Amino acid sequence: MHAPQLLLPSHLPYRLFCVCPTVIIQLNYERDEHKLVVDILGKLESERKAFRLVGSVLVERTVGDVLPTVSQNFEGVSDLASVYISKL
């Protein structure tokens, strides 16, 4: 028994090409925002209060708790943007 084939509309590659630049622009914007936050938090004491939006909840943490997470998110967004750019 053969696996069923997925039939894609002929206009799908064009639609993906149109969406991809928009996604890259959004990812670059998010990357720049994360970079700004990482740069600012990097200059502060690690025990200073920091607030982070998790979903729709604002949580209070310290800079030392928040900085690694924001740095990791920055790297993830940067990597994802690079993948999309390489696919163009």
Tell whether the model's pLDDT for residue 88 goes beyond 90: no
Higher pLDDT, 70 or 11: 70
- pLDDT at position 83 is 85
**Structural domains in the chain?**
14-87 (1.10.287.370)
Closest CA to 21 of 69, 85, 83, 79: 85
Q: What does the pLDDT look like over 13-45, one tens digit per residue?
A: 555 555 577 888 999 999 999 999 999 999 999
Instruction: Supply the pLDDT for residue 79.
Output: 92
Q: How far apart are CA 88 and CA 85, in angstroms?
A: 5
pLDDT tens string 39-84 = 999 999 999 999 988 899 999 999 999 999 999 999 999 998 888 8
Strand partners, 54: 57
**Against a cut of 0.85, is the pTM above it?**
no
